[in-house]
A and B are shown apart, each in its own frame.
Chain A
Amino acid sequence: MLHTRLTLTLGTILAASLPAAAAPDFAKDIQPVLENSCVKCHNDAKAKGKLALHAKDKALKGGDTGPAWVAGKPEESLLIKRVLLPETEDEAMPPKGKGERLNPGQVEALKQWVAAGAVWPDGVVLKEKEVRPPVDPKDGENLVSISVFPPAIGLETKRDSQNVIVMAKYADDTTRDVTKKVDLTVANPALVKQTGTSFAPVADGETVVKASFFGKTAEVPVKVASATAERPISFRLDVMPVFMRSGCNTGSCHGAARGQDGFRISLFGFDPAGDHNRITREMGSRRINLALPAESMMVEKCTGAVPHTGGKIWEPGDQYYNTVVEWLTAGAPNDDVAKVAKPVSMEVYPKQMVLEGADVTQQMTAVVKYSDGTDRDVTSLAVFMSSNAPTASVDQNGLITTHSRGEAFVMARFATFTIASQVIVIPKNLQYTRPVVAEANYIDKLVNDKLHKLRVIPSGDCDDATFLRRAYADVVGLLPEKADFDKFMARTEPNKRELLIDELLGRKEFIELWVMKWAELLQIRTNPTNQVSYKSSLLYFNWLQERIANNVPMNKIVQEILSANGGTFSSPATNYYQIEKETLKLTENLAQVFMGMRIQCAQCHNHPFDRWTMDDYYGLAAFFGQIGRKPSEDPRELVVFNSGGGEVKHLVDGRNMKPKFLGGAEPDLKPGDDRRASLAEWLASPQNPFFAKNLANIVWAHFFGMGIIDPVDDVRVSNPPSNPELIEELGKKFTEYNYDFKRLVRDICLSKTYQRTTRVNDSNAQDERNFAHSLIRRLRAEVMLDAISQVTDTKNKFQGLPLGARAVQIADGNVSNYFLKTFGRAERATVCSCEVKMEPNLSQALHLLNGDTTASRIGAGKVVETLLKGGATPEAVIEDLYIRCFGRKPSASEIEGLAKSVNETPDKKQQALEDVFWALLNSKEFMFNH
């Protein structure tokens, strides 16, 4: 109150004394103040408090609390009152933290100007003053180039505008966001209006936007079309993106199956027609009000005018509010689905950045292309997420801020697209020079390139003994025998590792290991509920083994499986369709196994973290719509054939779906054509961008314990490959090798990357995803059981297999034993890569300690007894055991210590040595491949 009175008095005095002073000049005294301090928030686009101050009529129309001023009466003018309020008041302008307070001279000028009648020259429109940071000469050092994003600008209709981003690249491959620092100009300003870094159409034509920075220049073409045309607001193109951006249609809010508080819209907007109906007509007048759009419940909830569990999500006058209110004002029209443009692709820029230091920012921009050829800047409508916020976080406007060293993927989601960009954060002023590392082949080059970007130094080579054991376990699923060890260690050829790999690749155990892996993915197992008999699963397994053993290319095998017809006995590949009979399950398995994609989500709604829509899902499912199954003479056999009829219907609208390859084209199929044959041909071909890469990644993951995309069957935009170039190249090679994965294995095993030691250095200790060092991996269940049998000289007996068969050879997923179960052998109940459990747990440790697998086998195999009988000294026995179990000789101190304790009880040497054996089997070094 006191304050008001004071203001009044001041105002009165001022008003009285005014005529003496010359009225301030608008352009000189007033415009700079408003442009510096007010227009940033009070403009057409933002209009905080519904007030815009960039044009006279807008200012006088005023905002929530009335017009900005009353000409001639500074004491009654809100503009003056607000700038005079103390900073602590909520209504003080500029608000705390949003700008500096006006100085007394500025306030005085405003007052006098209002008092003198607030003269505003006709047609003058104010623009936010660009606050450009001072030129920093450091930005020019080592500058290599600058790039402007997006690489081309299309401006269509009055509503359109595009913000550009300029990124500078430096000699050390780091990048900086220099958008606010560069000089941006339009070649032909008659066509395009520039506001800061934003460009809007003026007249049709083509021109360029030029950027220059420390002598480097870049330009992007601008094409303006329909510059003066109005674009009516569209429910699908304008309103629904607001729901997505505001989080309305997420699973935790109104996108939940039952909605929230009685209001449901489709999850991430998979059902626009249904959403329109629910918003406008489901509850008549409750949700929207066409007469008074701003008083619609939907609007009042979002602005927090009425209680909303989801909180206040729009500010009256902001972009989202305006879009929805404009749509309601227009009568909440639905789109003509036949005419409305559809988004066809999205790009996010920059695609890759290497940022130096913490608290560095980089703005992203997202551009969507539509089916009518137009594009739009959707940065303000996309949802941004970071895969690794501790390294690089992203705010809702797409501004990345760096934190600790590492790599993150920043994703933008809009409509059905999710696009990721790679962000690498390296410490500031890091002492780093790229090491010179030997490279065996393309794999090493690509891995090292990535490590260089991360400023990570790879570990060195492992020793021969480690390599030998690693290669045996990985390639053939066995441990090297003593003879193998001795032979390899004695070899002197410089390429002895290559020779070893070639030798191992030629062994039948190599085939068996991969047959087992495929049997897991194909779920080969007896299954009473699906009437999969032991006979048919055995036939299926044998068929697979025969194919792989004969080096049939993988694509041929997959094609044979998918297009298989005939009896499950006579044509075992048909078992694929007996093991799984549900069309949708078949579809999902197909995508997961052969393309590494989990598309299950898209059964009920568009995939939330990937590009797959329900249309994609049911389009793929349609390939399995015409599978015929009939019994054969043998009740255990089923005959699979192409029935030539049957359709798969879309869940939402029940329409028949045309078969469409996932992410590909619609094949030209005639009625009666075998849809599966067409699918098989496409799936295992270079036309399918996922097949080769996926198989290569599965192979890769086997040798590194970590996929380039990990897990291997969760390929999605939001789970990007750690090294896109590498997986691309592996896929390409695999195709070049005619899908012969043996050659791919050879490339991998010969790479320096595979042969790295597990020892880490300072720079790569934290890294697990970029193969800077080898990972310590537990032996998988089958290999471990086989290894135990191998080192203890004992034999296993599995159902259906001869005594002494290896666990790797088990055909039926249902055949198992306690050991295999405990160590996480795949049950083959699903196609998930998670079926094989590699995590150590307590029961595993207890079983090895106390179970019959170790202790009794040590006794039964009589290894120690035989050695002793053969006249070996305890030291020799210990060395033998070490080589058996660890693939290396014991160190001097090991042998000394162990021999000492064995020799302490000369009468119980065998038992003592067997205890040593037991201890070795229980050691981590045995259980892990390192």
Chain B
Amino acid sequence: MKRLLLTLAFPAAAGFTPAFGEEKINFADHVRPILESACLNCHNPDKKKGGLDLTTYVATMTGGSSGEVVTSGNSADSRLHKSIIRPADPAMPPQGSPLSAKEVEIIAKWINGGLLETATGVAKKAKKPAFDMQIASVGTGKPEGPPPMPENLLLEPVVRTSRASATAAMASSPWAPLVAISGQHQVLLYNTDTLELAGVLPYKEGFVESLNFSRNSQLLCAGGGRPGKNGKVVVWDVKSGRRVIEVGEELDTVLASDISADQVYVAIGDSSRRVKIYNTATNELVKDIKKHTDWVTAAQFSPDGVLLASGDRAGGLFVWEAKSGSEFYTLSGHTGGITAVTWRDDANIVASASEDGTIRLWEMNEGKEVKKWNHGGPVLSLNFTHDGRLVSCGRDYKVKVFGQDGAQQAEAKDFADLPQAACFSNDGSKFIVGDWSGAVSVWNAKDAKKIGEMSAAPPTIDERLAVLKPEMAKTESTMVEAKTAMGSMASGMAEVQGKMDKSKGAIMAFSTTSAEVEKTLAGAKAAAAELLARLNTPMPATPPAPDPAKPSMDMGTAVALAKDYKALVETAKTSVGGLSGQIGGMANDFKAMPGQIAGHVQAVKSSEATVAEMQKKQAEAQKTVEAAAAALDGHKKSVARWEAAKVNVTIFQRREELAKLTAKLEEAAADLADREKVIASTPAALAAAPEPEKAALQKKLDAANAGLAELKKSKADLDAQVASTKTAIDAETAKYLSMLPK
């Protein structure tokens, strides 16, 4: 078969060689997607209409009840082809629209091209896990060492939407402050302490409907897909954000999934009514449990990894042995669809939640119901804490924390819409709720007070930067303003100080002046008094005439004397009057002086207050400056962090490119090796071969040689590309690390 494929494939490649650009029509890449949308609804391993399963290459080759459905190289003779062209009997698909001309052509080409399974004709290898994840011993307690937190994960959302959609799934890391929330084509990781985005895990397969952390917190297991079309479980390493497991080729979105504690098994439940258990090391389906009668809506492995509980939409609830897949207990009692199962840490109790409104606890010694209570409405989600409390939410639009005894401990309400998922933070101190509108909120588990929110539709890095940068600019300007304020405050203070000094000087001057004035006044007063005294001394009496005959003086002299005296008196009077006026004026001045002094004192006092005020303001401004500086530092760090995150986005893109290139390279290398083997061995065989076989061998050799140079060249090109991509990644990683704020 393989050889046939090779010979068939090579001439085509030789004719027109777009190196590895033009893909050959093959099952995996071209045919299966067509079958997926048109045929697999009926021709799947669960329904197998007409005994035919078209989900895998092998099954398609096997055919159905009436034999093979494809004949290599002959589409006209292949039932698969005959039934999809019109008119046909039976015409497929029996309902809905027929396949388009293009689709029919692809299938014809595929059949005529020799039924390639993949582009290289080589069967796809099952994806090997990137590293061995099996854990030797499973402990149910806290693992040693620091709990794993995401490091340098992608922070750019894969899809940015203006609105979030209903929170389909949510899970909390058992040992790290980390919660995973389903988003659009992605899972979002948030730090439950800081409420900050810690990582984005792309899930381009569709939408995640189920989330669970591994028991040791290392891995995150997500189930989902495109409803009605396909389903897959992806497991990421929480620390590095790398995909480590991809299992399941389901035909509808995975509704329930979990990874076992020893990380050996992944369980999947979906609308096929099956519980499928895959081995993570081989990606093989190891158990297919057909007991459920309706969609499997909940599944969880026990913390010790021994058991698996699963519930369905009809209320069926079972416990299986994880390893053998055999039935352990049937837990009957629920009358409505099971919406959640959750295990207590010790694996002795499993709790179930149902649309029938009840929460039930089941013990694992005998499989008996040990406790049952009503949430208050149909229950949509249920989760245990390490200490055995439970958080549930339901169609009563409430989230409630219960003890294992069913006693309600806290209740949160007033959600924007129907709460759909609720879980505790790792330490049980908070609970996180996602509602139908997509709002995710964080609550204190004790008093049910809201703490904060996380976005299920986070902004892009550019959007964050677009918000951060103006903020930073604002902080900067605040700081400048505060600094300016400090400066103006200092000069203002100086001015006030000057005024105060002047007033003080004035006060001093006044006191000097007042002493002088007092002195002068006293002198003036004394002079005035003396003058007055003198004035009051009576004029000397005219001496008695010693002789009347003989006047003592002549009359003339006497008269003159009298005249002088009178003048003197007049002058004295005037002097006293002047002095009195002077004294009065001085006294007035003296009276005004205390008022003036008081004014100055007042001025000094107020100035002192102003200064104090200013000093306070200055201190405040100082503080503002300091705060702004700190904020600026924070902003700068944030900006740096997000700028770095942008670089990280390119690193992730490059890694994807690298993966693609590597795959191509491997393909080319394998092809080359095959050809070289042919080229090396054929000439000898050709020499030895009998004549009739020679032509065939020669043809084979020619085919191997055809386009060999191009192949080599493209391999070399790929080699170079891989190397350059690796270098680019290294360079960008270095850049990224250097950009990260210290």
Q: Which residues of A contact B (CB under 8 A)?
A: 90, 261-262, 280-281, 284-292, 295, 297, 300-301, 304-312, 331
Kindly list 6 other residue pairs between chains A and B, CB separation below 8 angstroms, not including A291-B165, A291-B184: A262-B271, A286-B209, A288-B165, A291-B163, A300-B227, A304-B37
B232: min CB distance to chain A, Å = 15
Q: Mark B77-100, 1 if CB is under 8 A from A, else 0.
A: 000000000000000000111001
A284 surroundings in chain B (CB, below 8 A): 166-168, 380, 420, 436
Contact across chains for A307 and B38 when beta carbons are under 8 A apart: yes
Q: When the two chains form their complex, are residues A285 and B207 in contact, meaning their CB atoms are under 8 A apart?
A: yes
**Contacting residues, chain A, for B229 (C-beta < 8 A):** 300, 305-307
> Are B228 and A306 in contact, CB atoms less than 8 angstroms apart?
yes
List of B residues within 8 angstroms of A297 by Cβ = 227-228
A90→B166 contact, CB < 8 A: no
| Known pairs A262-B295, A301-B228; A309 contacts B96 (CB<8 A) | yes
Mark contacts of B412-430 with chain A using CB atoms, 8 A cut-off: 1 yes-contact digit, 0 otherwise.
0000001010000000000
Q: Is the interface of A mostly helix, strand, loop or mixed?
A: loop
| 27 A-B interface contacts by CB (under 8 A) | A90-B100, A281-B418, A284-B436, A285-B167, A285-B207, A290-B165, A290-B437, A291-B163, A291-B165, A291-B184, A292-B159, A292-B184, A295-B207, A300-B227, A301-B228, A304-B96, A304-B97, A305-B37, A306-B228, A307-B36, A307-B37, A307-B40, A307-B229, A309-B41, A309-B96, A310-B96, A331-B437
The answer to whether A306 touches B295 (Cβ under 8 A) is no
Q: Is the CB of B96 within 8 A of A291?
A: no
**Bound Cα distance from A90 to B229, whole angstroms:** 25
A886 to B253 Cα, complex, angstroms: 76
Known interface pairs A262-B295, A284-B380, A291-B163; A309-B95 also in contact (CB < 8 Å)? yes
**Inter-subunit contact B40/A289 (CB<8 Å):** no
Interface string of B711-737 (1 = CB under 8 A from A): 000000000000000000000000000
In the bound complex, what is the Cα–Cα distance between A300 and B95 (angstroms)? 17
The list of the 3 closest CB pairs from A to B, nearest first, reads A311-B96, A297-B227, A306-B229
**Interfacial chain A residues near B295, Cβ < 8 Å:** 262
In the bound complex, how far is the Cα of B228 from the Cα of A280, in angstroms?
17
Q: Does A292 contact B165, Cβ atoms closer than 8 Å?
A: yes
- B38 contacts across to A, CB distance below 8 A: 307
> What is the bound-complex CA distance between A280 and B41, given in angstroms?
24
* A98 CB to nearest B CB, Å: 16
Contact in complex: A311, B165 (CB < 8 Å): no
Q: How far is the CA of A310 from the CA of B95 in the complex (A)?
A: 7
Chain B neighbourhood of A290, CB < 8 A: 163-166, 437-438
Task: Establish whether residues A300 and B228, one from each chain, have CB atoms under 8 Å apart when the complex forms.
Answer: yes
B39-75 near A? 1/0 per residue, CB < 8 Å:
0110000000000000000000000000000000000
How distant is B566 from chain A, measured CB to nearest CB, in Å? 116
Do most interface residues of chain B lie in helix, strand or loop, or is the interface mixed?
loop
Chain B neighbourhood of A287, CB < 8 A: 227
B94-118 vs A, Cβ < 8 Å mask (1 yes, 0 no):
0111001110000000000000000
How far does the Cβ of A84 sit from chain B's closest Cβ, in whole Å?
Answer: 19
Interface string of B283-300 (1 = CB under 8 A from A): 000000000001100000
Task: Report B710 CB to chain A, min CB distance, Å.
Answer: 18
B96 touches A308 (CB 8 A): yes
Q: Which residues in chain B, 155-211, are within 8 Å of chain A measured between CB atoms? A: 159, 161, 163-168, 182, 184, 207, 209
Identify the closest chain A residue to B16 (Cβ): A1
Q: For the complex, what is the distance from the CA of A900 to the CA of B606, rounded to whole Å?
A: 155
Whether B95 contacts A311 by the Cβ 8 Å rule is yes
Is B313 on the interface with A (CB-CB < 8 A)? yes
B228-A308 in contact (CB<8A): yes
Contact mask for chain B residues 610-621; partner A; CB cutoff 8 A; 1 contact, 0 none: 000000000000
B340 sits at the interface (CB 8 A): no
* Total cross-chain contacts (CB, 8 A): 92
Contact across chains for A289 and B165 when beta carbons are under 8 A apart = yes
Q: In the assembly, what is the distance between CA of A796 and CA of B725, in Å?
A: 108
Quick one: which of B259-287 are within 8 Å of A by CB?
271
* Chain B positions within 8 Å of A295 at CB level: 207
A139 to B161, CA, bound (A): 57
Q: Among A262, A288, A301, which residue has its beta carbon within 8 angstroms of that of B313?
A: A262
Selected from A90, A285, A300, A307, the residue in CB contact (under 8 A) with B165 is A285
Q: What chain B residues lie within 8 Å of A300 (beta carbons)?
A: 226-229
Taking a contact as CB atoms under 8 Å apart, the answer to whether B253 and A291 are in contact is no
Query: Which B residues touch A281, using CB under 8 A?
Result: 395, 418, 436
A residues in contact with B159, CB < 8 Å: 291-292
B678 to chain A, nearest CB (A): 29
A291 in contact with B95 (CB, 8 Å): no
B221 at the A interface (CB under 8 A): no
Partner of B209, one of A285, A307, A331: A285
Task: Give chain B nearest CB distance to A312 CB in angstroms.
Answer: 5
Distance between Cα atoms of A909 and B21 in the complex (Å): 106
B454 contacts chain A at the CB level, 8 A cutoff: no
Question: Chain A contacts of B100 at CB under 8 A?
Answer: 90
B361 in the interface (beta carbon within 8 A): no
Q: Is there contact, CB below 8 Å, between B418 and A306?
A: no
Tell me the minimal C-beta distance from A685 to chain B in angstroms. Answer: 48
How near does chain A come to B200, taking the closest CB pair, in angstroms?
A: 15
Q: Is the CB of A307 within 8 A of B97?
A: no
Rounded to whole angstroms, the CA-CA distance of A432 and B561 in the bound complex is 177
Residues of A within 8 A of B163 (CB): 290-291, 331
Give the nearest-CB partner of B39 in chain A: A307
- In contact, A307 and B436 (Cβ under 8 angstroms): no
Which of the residues A262, A286, A291 comes within 8 Å of B438, measured between beta carbons?
A291
How far apart are B93's CB and chain A's nearest CB, in angstroms? 8
Q: Which residue of A lies closest to B420 (CB)?
A: A284
Q: Which residue of A lies closest to B98 (CB)?
A: A311
Tell me whether B457 is interfacial, beta carbon within 8 Å. Answer: yes
Residue ID in chain A nearest B297 by CB atoms: A283
Nearest A residue to B253 by beta-carbon distance? Answer: A286
Among candidates A280, A306, A308, A311, residue contacting B226 with C-beta atoms closer than 8 Å: A306
CB distance from B453 to the nearest CB of A (A): 17
Q: How far is the CA of A288 from the CA of B101 in the complex (A)?
A: 31
Which residues on the B side are within 8 Å of A305 (C-beta)?
37, 229
Min distance, Cβ B136 to any Cβ of chain A, angstroms: 38
Give the complex CA separation of A308 and B41 in angstroms: 8
B348 to chain A, nearest CB (A): 30
Which chain A positions have C-beta within 8 A of B165? 285, 288-292
Measured CB to CB, the closest approach of chain B to A85, in angstroms, equals: 13
A287 to B436: give the CA distance in the assembly, Å.
12
In the assembled complex, the CB of B381 is this many whole angstroms from the nearest CB of chain A, namely 10
- Chain B residues lying within 8 Å of A280, measured Cβ to Cβ, are 436
Within 8 A of A (CB), among B638-683: none
Nearest chain A CB to B196 CB, angstrom units = 21
Shortest Cβ distance from B94 into A: residue: A309
Q: Find A291's partner among B102, B161, B226, B420 (CB 8 Å cutoff).
A: B161
B161 touches A307 (CB 8 A): no
> Which of A285, A288, A292, A310 meets B161, CB within 8 Å?
A292
Which A residue's beta carbon lies closest to that of B185?
A: A292
Instruction: Report the bound CA distance from A281 to B253 in whole Å.
Output: 17
Q: Report chain B residues within 8 Å CB of A310.
A: 95-96
**CB <8 Å contact, A285 and B418:** no
Residues of B near A261 (CB, < 8 A) are 271
A90-B102 contact in complex given A262-B295, A284-B420, A290-B165, C-beta closer than 8 Å: yes
CA distance A310 to B166 in the complex (A): 26
Residues of A within 8 A of B438 (CB): 290-291
Chain B residues within an 8 Å CB radius of A90: 100-102
Q: For the complex, what is the distance from the CA of A538 to the CA of B271, rounded to whole Å?
A: 61
Measured between alpha carbons, how far is A301 from B165 in the docked complex, in Å?
19
CB distance from B297 to the nearest CB of A (A): 9
What's the minimum C-beta distance from A318 to chain B, rounded to whole angstroms?
15
Using Cβ atoms and an 8 Å threshold, which residues of chain A touch B420? 284-285
- Decide yes or no: A307 and B95 within 8 Å by CB, A289-B207, A290-B166 being known contacts: no
Distance in angstroms between the alpha carbons of A691 and B229 in the assembled complex: 55
Tell me which of B96, B161, B436, B437 contacts A312 (CB under 8 A). Answer: B96
Chain B 95-145 residues near chain A, CB threshold 8 A: 95-97, 100-102
